[in-house]
Chain A
């Protein structure tokens, strides 16, 4: 029942915070967010499942609840939640980043705080639902419900073009979800299952129970479903060329929202891809491995090149997310322990690192009121601690060893290089790996221009060192990044445990 408690408490907290006076809302929201955080850490310590939630039986799902809810058109809807080694790290990531994002919002959010924090907690509750739900219906409800608070968070507290960005984000991801939904339902109706339970659906597909539809062969039905699901999730990740909503959303969103958007929301896309595309339909994924790998490599290199062209610090970090998430896709399509495991680990690592980067850029913006490379220099002189952490985070982004990003990227590269599913795997891996040079290029260049050199600022603000509500979350993030880099086994052990069954699924195309 702990998952229900987690989601329930967070919903409740959202409601309470919503009606709290603005001056207390931030503190109350932070305090309340510690409850799901503590709960998720308890889940991590008490985690005892082995295997993959979709492929195994009850033993593969920790903290499982499965009760019949209602029946629609001969298909049973259930309240079915549980975690395995793939989803639990993302649950921890969600609760952890939400708490830190709330803390970092104390200073910049000065308007309608109760609504702001209420929406953040509401989003957290839905995120927890996305990462724990094992029934398609419940999962889809959570999946869509995440968009609503995000829309308002960008649309109300965002920058000058917030309405354009919010609508673009909402419509783009919603249309993609619709396509994904239609084709998934189509797939389920071609199966002989009377449930939306994801394990049952997965196991029925693997048992070869997909039937034809409208004269289409079963394999075509699966391929169509795969393509629609991939498209639906690719927008969320985002995979080039479906990425253009992301920089707009990030630039307009307030910092704490950017932290959650890059840190957790993007991972919904890759998580869903892992669950639906790569676990349910491995034969299609393997057949089109080269195509998917091209998407991955293009995202890595093209995303990095776009970051190189930016002058706005936030846009730089936003585009580098496109690049980093490309690694995840590459790892997934490799179908090796290190590849898929590394991809999952990268979801967590990138969540922490991009969270740190957005937060640090936000702290600088709070002081200087600009984010433009070229309108400031020598900030290290005025805010040494923030800048120090920003430099450390940037090196984390570049994949400096003993930080989480290196572990993730190394696993992915290793897994991709040795892939037997992907033809010419070493070339794909080597091409994607060149991203580590470009990322160093644009981050070092931006840091040199803004942080170092003689102190100068184009705006009329007095820059002072940041306060503790800003530096403490940064420091906590940095420590967690180093911790995961030194001891990746904290998560990687359970991840590989849940990933291995996926690799053992026989591929019958």
Chain B
């Protein structure tokens, strides 16, 4: 075993330690730690980053790792032996994700020095404790080697988001948003939990990798080489049901339709937290989970089609809402929902590598955009309304330059990172749709079409945001004289700017297709080291085999070249961007989307999605509880009290027999005795 793997548990343990330190400092109730606990957090995430890089290098060197490190519970029952454990699965996918999470977490910690400490926030130890636990939970999730462990850390990630979104608990908004975030994702996690329990009940294991893993056993069952208990369903149907149940958790955490409503509200949290949630932790967890157990989805065409439809629809749906938002972070929130929709679209259409690639590039450019927005918010003294900004490009050149890079990447403009990944997502969706027979193929193509149309809107809302914030002339005094930001803000922005510009080159799949040059590095990375037994069930190659040979939908490879689809999506993105720029990068911009009339209201109010969910909670569930309470008090308890009052009153009536008059008693005794004698005589037969 490689030395890197020996120390790998520390990747999770270090941020957890920083959580404990900050927590202790918070309880001590004095400024015992310099910078309110930021230093241990920065050191811990840096340490994790270094270890993650080491792990990634080791994986690149051809080693992978999957070991149980802690036995949580064993049920050595009569039915079977069930072991529930925590372990480490270090393969190309998790190694890549570790680096992303650690890098973003480190930069968010540094940025927080500028955003929280320099702004004089109180409760900093609580903040840094939350960040540490958040990072540790996500890292624990990433290295999970089984679905139970994933669920455990999935929930802890949810807890941390609750704590951090509600950080400013003295105001009314953040606690409400925190509650909503936890509750909506908990609703999704309910389905995940049912799915998890079902998977363990079906396969007797929750392991992701290896010959005994549940995706592999599912594959064997479908091939007729093994059998499991499928609770009265055909195996294909049952596996699809299980996959869709787990997907419930993914839809909640990755903010996909219809459980996306928590995410825009979550902007109530401090901006660095938003960056962490959107780029590398909570929202990423959902999509990562599908990628992690991709072998299980790859054999179910129905589940894949639903993933693709949810993804494509969410990409388009969220992008339209982003068109009309007034606040900087709101635009970014809807863009996150939309971008994760692309990842789901890719996963649904067999684009495992494409989805992972978009997860990678999005992590960097979205973290960049959020931190850039944070920088603007500092400058604007926490005013987030874009209509109050304008002309900031001259006054904050570093923020502007990096934000522009992030925006170009988000809009998908060549050669920035987002172009390459989004292009691959759409290309995979297209050829998968073309290569699938029948109605399923139509579904995939419909999902592709929605994703493609969303590109136009993405270009528009992105550059509307850039134009309104940075171009034109300052529209308020605040924008005319913004507060300057320090190195701890500019440093993270520069690092992320560089990454957002360049990470696309990690995977030049279309270039490879055209020239044959082996520049699709991410493809090679996810194929995994040759010869590692574990990779037989976890590699991109294996997933391709499942999709084409085991999946009953009979997908054939389409021969469509990459140039035309790329040109199409790039053209749409540039069109959207240019139109937005023409309309809004003027000295005195007006709200052009107002011409949409009533449609703008619908978009601005998010298609009234929040309204119906709040209505369900307050006008259906709450009254139902009230009815239950009334029934309980009057009927259920009424019967109890009724029985007791009947017995009490009959008791008091019987008591009236006790008159205290001796002659009455004597009469009763005589009567009774006679009755007894008669009865006994009748029974024994000597009376008649």
Whether A208 sits at the interface, judged by CB under 8 Å, is no
Chain B residues whose C-beta falls within 8 Å of the C-beta of A445 in the assembled complex: 179
Q: Which of A209-217, A263-271, A334-342, A358-366 contacts B (4 or more CB under 8 A)?
A: A334-342
**B78 near A413: Cβ-Cβ < 8 Å:** no
Whether B156 sits at the interface, judged by CB under 8 Å, is yes
Query: Interface 1/0s, chain A 85-110, versus B by CB < 8 A?
Result: 00000000000000000000000000
Whether B71 sits at the interface, judged by CB under 8 Å, is yes
Q: Which of B354-362, B623-631, B658-666 contacts A (4 or more CB under 8 A)?
A: B623-631
Whether A400 sits at the interface, judged by CB under 8 Å, is yes
Count contacts on B: residues with CB < 8 A to the other chain: 54
**A500 near B77: Cβ-Cβ < 8 Å:** yes
Chain B residues whose C-beta falls within 8 Å of the C-beta of A378 in the assembled complex: 169-170
Count contacts on A: residues with CB < 8 A to the other chain: 64
Measured in the bound complex, the distance between the Cα atoms of B201 and A429 in whole Å is 12
Whether A20 sits at the interface, judged by CB under 8 Å, is no
Partner of B156, one of A168, A400, A437, A503: A400
**B159 near A244: Cβ-Cβ < 8 Å:** no
Residue of B nearest to A493 (CB): B74
Q: Which of B30-38, B189-197, B291-299, B667-675 contacts A (4 or more CB under 8 A)?
A: B189-197
Contacts A402-B156, A433-B190, A433-B193; is A441 near B72 (CB within 8 Å)? no
Q: For chain A residues 371-417, which have a beta carbon within 8 Å of chain B?
A: 378, 380-381, 385, 395, 398, 400-402, 406-407, 410-411, 413-415, 417
Partner of A306, one of B193, B628, B640, B644: B628
Chain B residues whose C-beta falls within 8 Å of the C-beta of A226 in the assembled complex: none
Whether A430 sits at the interface, judged by CB under 8 Å, is yes
Q: For chain A residues 478-507, which have a beta carbon within 8 Å of chain B?
A: 486-489, 492-493, 496, 500, 503-504
Chain B residues whose C-beta falls within 8 Å of the C-beta of A429 in the assembled complex: 194, 197
Q: Which of A32-40, A134-142, A324-332, A451-459 contacts B (4 or more CB under 8 A)?
A: A451-459
Contacts A308-B625, A488-B72; is A453 near B190 (CB within 8 Å)? no
Measured in the bound complex, the distance between the Cα atoms of B74 and A447 in whole Å is 35
Residue of A nearest to B148 (CB): A410
Measured in the bound complex, the distance between the Cα atoms of B154 and A400 in whole Å is 10
**A395 near B640: Cβ-Cβ < 8 Å:** no
**B182 near A440: Cβ-Cβ < 8 Å:** yes
**A309 near B179: Cβ-Cβ < 8 Å:** no
Whether A305 sits at the interface, judged by CB under 8 Å, is yes
**B628 near A305: Cβ-Cβ < 8 Å:** yes
Whether A288 sits at the interface, judged by CB under 8 Å, is no
Q: For chain A residues 425-454, which have a beta carbon within 8 Å of chain B?
A: 426, 429-430, 433-434, 436-437, 440-441, 444-445, 447-448, 451-454
Residue of A nearest to B173 (CB): A453
**A401 near B152: Cβ-Cβ < 8 Å:** yes
Measured in the bound complex, the distance between the Cα atoms of B82 and A385 in whole Å is 39
**A341 near B75: Cβ-Cβ < 8 Å:** yes
Chain A residues whose C-beta falls within 8 Å of the C-beta of B169 in the assembled complex: 378, 380-381, 451-453
**A436 near B636: Cβ-Cβ < 8 Å:** no
Chain B residues whose C-beta falls within 8 Å of the C-beta of A493 in the assembled complex: 74
Residue of A nearest to B628 (CB): A305
Chain A residues whose C-beta falls within 8 Å of the C-beta of B198 in the assembled complex: 417, 426
Partner of B200, one of A337, A381, A414, A487: A414
**A414 near B77: Cβ-Cβ < 8 Å:** no
Partner of B632, one of A306, A430, A433: A306
Measured in the bound complex, the distance between the Cα atoms of B637 and A416 in whole Å is 30
Whether A31 sits at the interface, judged by CB under 8 Å, is no
Measured in the bound complex, the distance between the Cα atoms of B152 and A452 in whole Å is 27
Chain B residues whose C-beta falls within 8 Å of the C-beta of A244 in the assembled complex: 632, 636-637, 640
Partner of A418, one of B74, B79, B151: B79
**A400 near B78: Cβ-Cβ < 8 Å:** no
Partner of A337, one of B79, B178, B197, B617: B79
Contacts A489-B74, A504-B78; is A453 near B170 (CB within 8 Å)? yes
Measured in the bound complex, the distance between the Cα atoms of B629 and A493 in whole Å is 40
**B155 near A436: Cβ-Cβ < 8 Å:** no
Measured in the bound complex, the distance between the Cα atoms of B27 and A451 in whole Å is 18
**A433 near B194: Cβ-Cβ < 8 Å:** yes
Whether A172 sits at the interface, judged by CB under 8 Å, is yes
The list of the 5 closest CB pairs from A to B, nearest first, reads: A337-B77, A452-B175, A309-B629, A401-B152, A308-B625
9 other contacts beyond A245-B640, A413-B197, A415-B75, with CB at 8 A cut-off?
A172-B640, A309-B629, A338-B82, A385-B27, A417-B198, A453-B172, A453-B175, A455-B170, A492-B73
Residues of A within 8 A of B (CB): 168, 171-172, 240-241, 243-245, 302, 305-306, 308-310, 336-338, 341, 378, 380-381, 385, 395, 398, 400-402, 406-407, 410-411, 413-415, 417-418, 426, 429-430, 433-434, 436-437, 440-441, 444-445, 447-448, 451-455, 486-489, 492-493, 496, 500, 503-504
Residues of B within 8 A of A (CB): 27, 71-79, 82, 148, 151-153, 155-156, 159, 166, 169-172, 174-176, 178-179, 182-183, 186-187, 190, 193-194, 197-198, 200-201, 231, 617, 621-622, 624-626, 628-629, 632, 636-637, 639-640, 644
Can you offer 26 A-B residue contacts whose CB atoms are under 8 A?
Answer: A168-B644, A172-B640, A241-B636, A244-B640, A302-B628, A306-B628, A306-B632, A309-B626, A309-B629, A336-B77, A341-B75, A380-B170, A381-B170, A407-B73, A415-B75, A426-B231, A429-B194, A452-B170, A453-B171, A455-B170, A486-B72, A492-B73, A493-B74, A496-B77, A500-B78, A503-B79
